[in-house]
């Protein structure tokens, strides 16, 4: 496996729930709800102290390809992969994170917001990037403008996207998957609203199949 083969790991999964999970006890019912809604992949952000434990529990679920998000350091990348992360996502471009993931043989997806950052990723041998934060930066119009000069690059737009904006992104052939937290928010987890998570996930998955 190359360090960049996210498409191979995701295996057709186009909806990426981005998860921030404070309490590891909710990880198993969360994985159940996402899988029941038809999700096949998920990103556990390293924004909470127990993120590695959450990732480990969700990876053990078996029904989901689970990666790590908000990975800011090489040390976090290592912890994520030890916990079972199948891919690593970063909000920006960090050479140490990319180098460590390449050593570990795990696909790494740096966040980019400009053509210059995209060219850095290409120079590092990567062909898949996270367009972040997609909506505040310009949404579908930005994606189309940025994708045009870089044939072969695949994008995972994330940031400010909800169900209403999904189809616009997914319609672009350069989009590998769309990420977002709207399907499973910290509010859902606090309330124990796993039925709501399942419903929102199913809606998104259904929309992605059209």
Binding residue for ligand 3PG (CB under 6 A) from 3, 67, 139, 159? 159
Does residue 76 belong to the site contacting ligand 3PG (CB under 6 A)?
Answer: no
Catalytic residue, candidates 56, 75, 117, 130: 130
Closest distance of CB 83 from ligand 3PG, Å:
18
Closest distance of CB 3 from ligand 3PG, Å:
20
What are the two backbone dihedrals, phi and then psi, of residue 175, each rounded to the nearest 5 degrees?
A: -85, 120
Does residue 179 belong to the site contacting ligand 3PG (CB under 6 A)?
Answer: yes
Does residue 158 belong to the site contacting ligand 3PG (CB under 6 A)?
Answer: yes
The footprint of ligand 3PG on residues 93-152 (CB under 6 A) is: none
| 203 catalytically annotated | no
Select 87 or 182, whichever has its Cβ closest to ligand 3PG. 182
Does residue 181 belong to the site contacting ligand 3PG (CB under 6 A)?
Answer: yes
| 56 catalytically annotated | no
Number of residues counted as binding ligand 3PG (CB under 6 A): 13
DSSP per-residue codes, 108-166: EE-EE-SHHHHHHHHHTT--EEEETTHHHHTHHHHHHHHHTT-TT-EE--BSS--HHHH
Long-range contact set of residues 195-201: C-beta below 8 Å, sequence gap at least 24: 195/33, 197/30, 197/33, 197/34, 197/37, 198/33, 198/34, 198/36, 198/37, 199/37, 200/37, 200/163, 201/15, 201/17, 201/33, 201/34, 201/36, 201/37, 201/38, 201/39
Residues with catalytic annotation?
Answer: 43, 130
Interface residue list for ligand 3PG (CB under 6 A): 18, 45, 69-70, 91, 158-161, 179-182
């Amino acid at each position: 496996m190359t360090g960049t083969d996210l498409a191979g790991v995701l295996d057709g999964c186009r909806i990426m729930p981005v998860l921030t999970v404070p309490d590891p006890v909710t990880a198993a019912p969360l994985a159940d709800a996402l899988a029941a809604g038809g999700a096949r992949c998920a990103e556990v952000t390293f924004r909470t102290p127990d993120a590695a434990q959450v990732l480990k529990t969700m990876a053990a679920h078996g029904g989901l390809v689970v990666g790590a998000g908000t990975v800011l350091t090489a040390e976090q990348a290592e912890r994520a992969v030890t916990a079972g992360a199948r891919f690593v996502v970063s909000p920006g471009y960090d050479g140490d994170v990319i180098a460590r993931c390449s050593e570990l043989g795990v696909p790494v997806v740096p966040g980019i917001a400009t053509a210059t950052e995209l060219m850095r990723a290409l120079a590092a041998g990567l062909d898949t990037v996270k367009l972040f934060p997609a909506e505040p930066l310009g949404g579908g119009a930005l994606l189309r403008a940025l994708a045009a000069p870089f044939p072969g690059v695949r994008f995972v737009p994330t940031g400010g996207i909800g169900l209403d904006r999904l189809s616009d992104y997914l319609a672009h052939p350069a989009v590998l998957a769309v990420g977002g937290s709207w399907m499973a928010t910290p509010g859902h987890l606090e309330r124990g609203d796993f039925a709501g998570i399942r419903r929102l996930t199913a809606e998104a998955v259904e929309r992605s199949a059209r």
